[in-house]
Amino acid sequence: MHEFLEFTIIGVVLGSAYAVAASGLVVTYATSGIFNIAHGAMGMFMAFVYWQLSVGWHLNTALAFVLTVFVLAPLLGAVVERGVIQWMDPNNVATTLAVTVGLTLLFFGLVADYIWKPAARSVPQFFGFSGFTFLGVKIDWEEVITVGAAVAIAVGLRLFLYRTRTGMAMRGVVDNRDLIGLFGGRPARLSTLSWAIGTSLASVAGILVAPRLQLQPLILTLLVIDAYAAAMIGRLRSLPMTFFGALVVGLASSYALGYLPSSGIWASTPIQGLLTLSVPSVILFIVLLVLPMHRIRSGAPQRHAPLAPASFVRSLQGGVLLVAGAWVAVSFMGPGEVVKLGIALAFGLVCLSLVPLTGWGGYVSICQLTFAGLGAYAMYEFGSGGSLLGLLAAAGLAGAVGALVALPALRLRGLYLALATMAFATAMDNAFFPWSAVFGFDGSVPVPRPDLFGLSVSSDKAFTVFLAVVFALFSIGILALRRGPFGRVLVGMKDSEAACATLGLSLTTTKLIVFTLSAAMAGVAGALFGGAESVAGGTDFQMFESLLILAVVAIGGAAVCSGALAGGLALGFLPGNAQDVFIGAGTVVLAFYPDGVLPLCYTRLQRWWQSVSAPRGAAVPLAAEERAGALAGPRAA
């Protein structure tokens, strides 16, 4: 009994921390329509600010807390909302997720690499380790504060959002922004206020958990991901249910750690990884599949027509140019740079797998690197000596797993699909990749480079050119798909699934096919990525890195193959300590140009060419994107 009580208290305290984090998420989503993946990163950033004030500059603890939570955090939230969020279309789930992912990377990079240099830092607990004993169980005052804060926040938010004019107006902005404006409300200010409150809550969560977790950027950033399950149980709108969900997640995690056996088969990596270490992710996945989803902001008409796909001739020209460029580059680059170019092209292939799925279909996946990891494993297992069987196995294994993941997730769309893929990726990180049966006892294995029927591409230069060839072929292939009926259905589904269903198109089959295709491409990319790096290990295919993939693809342009190439080059050549900040800052561009940088350049280039080549005096028609864009604009203030 005593032991059960201990684990229960541990679970309640953990759940309370999740509840504080999840409440801020729910408030932001319920009042702005945007799921803020950067919520944890912003809370982490404010935890560091709190440390700087209270420990670094020796400010009074209470004063530092008040300054951080009630002044600086709301200010940060307001700046983010005014500077970035207000320009985004909340119906464009892919873009909103990519931008908030970018903000995550930006804050993480600023803290980890620039503002606060790596060092051991800790935030002292409010009352040290003092506490009291309850039924034989020691309880710290810190734990009491955490639980109390969670309850107070849940109750307070509920009252604020449902019993005050401002709160109701904030909820109304999400439903109908223009109507609120007509009734004298100020939607812009209300959105800013919601982000200010959300960031303030994120800072509270960060400050409360920092004493337990130390001031580690990555851990504090990722903690909120465990709280997603709680937010989903509350369906992103009910704070009491969110609180309940947080307790469920906390208690389940605690009981699993405490009561599941740790010997025999239970000690194996997959079992422990799944049932002990991935409890929040497993709960998230189950909740997403089982609970009926709230109305989802997707299927609204796009604000502009998509770019027309390149013709076969144009795609062939592009492919030849790419291969020729790679050939010239490897001739002049040093050995280290050649390897980096190869890795960049391999990353580009992973990014390319997102083009049909995210760029054309509008489905956000945060597990592409997981599929790539499966491909690398398959190449190691079946590609001995460079056998092409390895590549086939990579495509087959990753594609099969992709289909398995897609099947239960077929009913999901937009944000919920993205979160389901994230949960899957996290579970794989804990249960599959660390398994010694996968990447060996050392955590990494040598991955052979393919042998093309006697034609060796084992040297770095030859392999890099080979990667360019594969990229070109894949691009030509998927562009051909895009130009065909399948591609048109895909784009139509992104525009309006309801309309497609009305026309009798099979959405299920199309969704399943594009998921499988995307996963298979990622699998092949992973096999070649392993070859480019010469080794592959579980740490190469973590979920957090998939966020980088999503961000760079979105920046480059998720609907164009060259965007994937640009993303790969960025990942391959940007210095490690600058990647997060540059990519994070780059996603801010998406708020203004949601299609990405390259499509914008193509459009402008096309227009310039038309103006140059048009007869004198003739009007130059707007490009389709510009026509639609001219009718839209920033959201109504």
Partner 1 sequence: MTAARDTRARGRPRGRQHLAAALSVAVLALLASACGSRLTGHEAALAQGAGSGGSGGAQALDTSSGNTTTTVATASATCGSTSSTTTTTTAPCTSSTGGGTALAAGPGGSSTSHAGGAAPAAVASGAAAGTGGAAGAAATSAGACGANGNQTPAGGNGGATATGVTATTIDVGNIASISGVSPGLTQSAQQATEAWAAYVNSTGGICGRQIKVQPFDDGSDSGTDYADAQQACSGDFAMVGNASGFDDGGAQAVSSCGIPDMAAEVSTAAAGGTADIFGASPGNDHYWGLGPANYLKSTYPNAIGKAAMIYLNVSATQTQAAHEVSAYTGDGFHYVYDTSTTPTNANYAANVQAMQSAGAQYVTEYSDADSAERLLQAMQQANYSPQVVDWFSEEYSPQFAQQTAPESNGDLVLMTATAAYEEASGNPGMQLMESWLNRVAGSGQWHQDIFAILAWSAGLAFEQAAKEVGPDLTRAALISKIQGITSWTGGGVTPPVNIGQKIPSPCFFYMKIENGAFQRVYPTAPNTYDCTGGFAQY
Q: What Cα–Cα distance (Å) separates residue 67 from each residue in 70, 76, 329, 622?
A: 6, 12, 53, 50
Q: Which is nearer to partner 1, 273 or 414 (CB)?
A: 273
Instruction: Check if the beta carbon of residue 333 is closer than 8 Å to that of residue 341.
Output: yes
Instruction: Check if the beta carbon of residue 265 is closer than 8 Å to that of residue 25.
Output: no
Which H helix or E strand runs over 140?
A: strand 137-140
With H, G, I as helix, E, B as strand and everything else as coil, classify residue 446.
Answer: strand
Structure tokens at 368: 């592409």
Q: Give all strands (DSSP E) within 370-493, no chain letters.
A: 444-446, 451-452, 455-456
Q: Measured from the CB of residue 218, what is the shortest distance to partner 1 in angstroms?
A: 7
Q: Which is nearer to partner 1, 88 or 551 (CB)?
A: 551
Dihedral pair phi/psi, residue 444, rounded to 5°: -155, 155
d(CA 434, CA 443): 7
d(CA 556, CA 567): 6
Q: Measured from the CB of residue 211, what is the shortest distance to partner 1 in angstroms?
A: 8
Beta strand 444-446 with 535-537 is antiparallel
Q: Which is nearer to partner 1, 337 or 626 (CB)?
A: 337
Amino acid found at 456? S
With H, G, I as helix, E, B as strand and everything else as coil, classify residue 131.
Answer: strand
Residues 6+ apart with CB under 8 A from 254: 7, 8, 10, 11, 14
Tracing tokens 């609204």 back to the chain, one arrives at 300
Q: Measured from the CB of residue 517, what is the shortest distance to partner 1 in angstroms?
A: 26
Q: Measured from the CB of residue 258, what is the shortest distance to partner 1 in angstroms?
A: 5
The count of other CB atoms within 10 Å of the CB of residue 320 is: 11
Instruction: Check if the beta carbon of residue 312 is closer than 8 Å to that of residue 539.
Output: no
Q: Which is nearer to partner 1, 176 or 214 (CB)?
A: 214
Q: Which is nearer to partner 1, 500 or 536 (CB)?
A: 536
Q: Measured from the CB of residue 107, what is the shortest distance to partner 1 in angstroms?
A: 16
Q: Measured from the CB of residue 423, what is the shortest distance to partner 1 in angstroms?
A: 13
Q: Which is nearer to partner 1, 538 or 629 (CB)?
A: 538
Dihedral pair phi/psi, residue 131, rounded to 5°: -175, -150
Q: Which is nearer to partner 1, 11 or 167 (CB)?
A: 11
Instruction: Check if the beta carbon of residue 64 is closer than 8 Å to that of residue 50.
Output: yes
Q: Measured from the CB of residue 270, what is the shortest distance to partner 1 in angstroms?
A: 10
Q: Which is nearer to partner 1, 120 or 290 (CB)?
A: 120
Q: Which is nearer to partner 1, 552 or 560 (CB)?
A: 552
Q: Measured from the CB of residue 346, what is the shortest distance to partner 1 in angstroms?
A: 9
Measuring CA to CA, which residue among 291, 179, 316, 196 is closest to residue 241? 291
d(CA 251, CA 14): 8
Q: Give all strands (DSSP E) within 515-579, no chain letters.
A: 535-537
- Packing angle, helices 576-592 and 561-573, rounded to 10: 150
Q: Measured from the CB of residue 441, what is the shortest distance to partner 1 in angstroms?
A: 4
Tracing tokens 């970018």 back to the chain, one arrives at 102
Q: Measured from the CB of residue 549, what is the shortest distance to partner 1 in angstroms?
A: 13
d(CA 43, CA 50): 10
Classify the C-alpha dihedral 129-132-136-142 as positive or negative: negative
Q: How many CA atoms lie within 13 A of 572 on its CB side?
A: 26
Q: Measured from the CB of residue 220, what is the shortest distance to partner 1 in angstroms?
A: 9
Q: Measured from the CB of residue 10, what is the shortest distance to partner 1 in angstroms?
A: 4
Which residues on neighbouring strands pair with residue 140, listed in sequence order? 131
Q: Measured from the CB of residue 577, what is the shortest distance to partner 1 in angstroms?
A: 4
Which residues on neighbouring strands pair with residue 452, listed in sequence order? 455
Q: Which is nearer to partner 1, 196 or 246 (CB)?
A: 246
Q: Which is nearer to partner 1, 463 or 593 (CB)?
A: 463
Q: Which is nearer to partner 1, 242 or 276 (CB)?
A: 276
Q: Which is nearer to partner 1, 211 or 309 (CB)?
A: 211
Q: Measured from the CB of residue 160, what is the shortest distance to partner 1 in angstroms?
A: 28
Q: Measured from the CB of residue 465, what is the shortest distance to partner 1 in angstroms?
A: 16
Q: How many CA atoms lie within 13 A of 355 on its CB side?
A: 33
Measuring CA to CA, which residue among 154, 414, 427, 415 is closest to residue 283? 427
Q: Which is nearer to partner 1, 385 or 576 (CB)?
A: 576
DSSP annotation string for 203-233? HHHHHHHHHHH-S-HHHHHHHHHHTHHHHHH
d(CA 483, CA 327): 29
Q: Which is nearer to partner 1, 226 or 497 (CB)?
A: 226
